[in-house]
A and B are shown apart, each in its own frame.
Chain A
Amino acid sequence: MPPIVSFFLRRLLGALPVLVVVLVGSFLLLEAASGDAVDSYVARSGAMDAEQMAQLRQDWGLDKGPLYRFRAYATALAEGDLGWSTSFERPVASVIFERLPITLLLMGVATALAFSLGSFLGILAGASPGSFRDRFLSIASLAIYAVPGFWLGLVLIVIFAVDLRWLPVGGIETIASGKSGLARLGDIAAHLILPVASLAMVYLVLYLRLMRDRMSEIWRDPFVSALEARGISRSRIVWRHVARNAVLPVVTMLGLQAAAMLGGSVVVESVFAIPGFGRLAAEAVARRDTPLLLGVILCSAVTVIIANLLVDLAYGKLDPRVRAGR
Chain B
Amino acid sequence: MTEPYLQVKNLNVSYAAIPALANVSIDLAKGERLAVIGESGSGKSTLAMAIAGLLPKQARSSGTIDFPGLSHSPKPGKDIGVLFQDPSGSLDPVMKIGDQIAEVAMTHQGISWIAARVRAAQLLDRVRIPKPLSRLNSYPHEFSGGQKQRIAMAAALAGNPSLLIADEPTSALDTVVQRHIVDLLDELVREAGLTLLFVTHDIALASERADTIAVLYQGRLVETGPTVRVLGEPEHPYTRALINTHISLDTPRAKRLAEINVADL
Contact = CB atoms under 8 A, between A and B. Distances in A.
Interface SS of chain A: helix, strand, loop or mixed?
Answer: helix
A94 interface: no
Contacts of B52: 229
B141 A320 contact: yes
Contacts of B93: 223, 245, 320-321
Interface stretch (A24-32, A58-66, A236-244): A236-244
Given A240-B95, A321-B139, A226 B90 contact: yes
A235 B142 CA distance: 27
A34 B39 CA distance: 79
- Counting chain A CB atoms within 10 Å of each CB, the highest count among B78, B94, B155 belongs to B94
Nearest to A237: B92
Contacts of A240: 95, 103
Interface of A: 221-223, 225-233, 236, 240-241, 244-245, 248, 318-321, 324
B159 interface: yes
A236 B52 CA distance: 20
Interface stretch (B24-32, B81-89, B221-229, B241-249): B81-89
A320 B159 CA distance: 26
Contact of A230 (B77, B89, B139, B142): B77
Nearest to A241: B92
B91 interface: yes
- Counting chain B CB atoms within 10 Å of each CB, the highest count among A221, A320, A321 belongs to A320
B92 A227 contact: yes
Interface of B: 52, 54, 75-78, 80-82, 84, 86, 89-95, 103-104, 107-108, 139, 141-142, 152, 155-156, 158-159
Contacts of B84: 222, 225-226, 229
25 contacts: A222-B84, A223-B92, A225-B54, A226-B90, A226-B155, A228-B54, A229-B52, A229-B77, A229-B84, A230-B81, A230-B104, A230-B158, A231-B75, A231-B107, A231-B108, A232-B104, A232-B107, A236-B107, A240-B95, A240-B103, A244-B95, A248-B94, A318-B94, A320-B141, A321-B94
Contacts of A222: 84, 86, 89-90
Given A221-B89, A222-B86, A320-B94, A229 B103 contact: no
B139 A320 contact: yes
Nearest to A325: B141
Given A222-B84, A226-B90, 6 more contacts: A223-B90, A223-B91, A228-B76, A229-B76, A232-B104, A241-B92
B110 to A, nearest CB: 13
A228 B155 CA distance: 12
B193 to A, nearest CB: 21
B77 A232 contact: yes
A208 B189 CA distance: 46
B107 A233 contact: yes
Nearest to B108: A231
A240 B159 CA distance: 19
Contacts of A245: 92-94
A229 B89 contact: no
B18 to A, nearest CB: 20
Nearest to A245: B94
Nearest to B74: A231
A131 B54 CA distance: 21
Given A229-B76, A231-B78, A321-B139, A244 B89 contact: no
A129 to B, nearest CB: 12
A88 B44 CA distance: 79
A241 B94 CA distance: 8
A303 to B, nearest CB: 29
Contacts of B82: 226, 229-230
B75 A230 contact: no
B139 to A, nearest CB: 4
A274 B89 CA distance: 51
A318 B139 CA distance: 12
Contacts of A320: 93-94, 139, 141
B200 to A, nearest CB: 18
Contacts of A324: 139, 141-142
A319 B90 CA distance: 18
Given A221-B89, A229-B82, A321-B141, A244 B94 contact: yes
B136 to A, nearest CB: 14
A226 B76 contact: no
A160 B103 CA distance: 47
A231 B94 contact: no
Contacts of B90: 222-223, 226
B145 to A, nearest CB: 14
B196 to A, nearest CB: 15
B107 A229 contact: no
